[in-house]
Amino acid sequence: MIQSAKELLKKGAAELGVQLDAAQLESLNLFAEELKKWNRKINLTAITGDEEIALKHLVDSLSLLKAVRGPGRLLDIGSGGGFPCIPVKIVQPDLEMVSVDAVVKKISFQKQAVRLLNLTGFTALHVRAETLAQEYAASFDWVVSRAFSDIPSFVAMALPVLKPEGRIVAMKGRSAAEEVEGAKDKLDALGAGVLEVMDFTLPGTGDARSLVVIGRN
């Protein structure tokens, strides 16, 4: 990434309370370069400029750390080009990651990025999230997603693989108050409820974001 994008990344992460060291910055930069390289051949993201990648993919992914801390096991459902799981793994290596996506080329990209960055404790799986329950029943401390689905559908997929005291976090690209209000009855029927909605502004953009934290009733 160009220097200005690296600076936006460092400053944006710091605004979220995440101080990136030189090695983490270099890994995030390598990841962004690999994303751009693959994106010329396969469609991983519509976001292609360095500064946009820095803020809307990398800093946005790291905002998950407002709600999630290691150690623990984390599942990222519908992770696409590796967001938020790969940036979060780079910064919080004591989170053991499982990342799933229904599109094989996206998982191939993630596997390549994991090799390139020498990440350990990261499993990328080409499966539909609905099929995870047998192998991964009650396995995860955290089940997260970004830009994935409506809240009740996501929670229905997440609950079978969540540990009893685990937490589900939906990363929403705008203020989520209305969606949360509309989801209450469906969540209640699933045996879950919203514990917290963390509203914030994505650094460097002014864009509204929400983290919706959900647990079992």
Rule CB under 6 A: say whether 198 interacts with ligand SAM. Answer: no
Nearer to ligand SAM, 16 or 193 (CB): 16
Per DSSP, helices labelled H in the chain are: 3-15, 22-39, 50-52, 60-62, 85-91, 104-116, 133-136, 151-158, 177-190
Using CB under 6 A, which of 128, 138, 184, 185 touches ligand SAM?
128
State which of residues 146, 167, 172, 209 lies at the interface with ligand SAM (CB under 6 A).
146
Q: Residue 60 contacts by C-beta under 8 Å, 6 or more apart in sequence?
A: 83, 84, 146, 171, 202, 209
**Residue 78 annotated as binding site:** yes
Among 13, 88, 129, 159, binds ligand SAM (CB under 6 A): 129
In the complex, least distance from residue 115 CB atom to ligand SAM, rounded to whole angstroms: 20
Peptide bond into 203 cis (omega under 30): no
22-39 and 104-116 helices, crossing angle to 10°: 140
109 belongs to the binding site for ligand SAM (CB under 6 A): no
- Does 130 carry a binding-site annotation? yes
> What are the binding residues for S-adenosyl-L-methionine?
78, 83, 129-130, 146
Q: Which residues bind ligand SAM (CB under 6 A)?
A: 77-81, 83, 100-103, 106, 128-130, 146-148
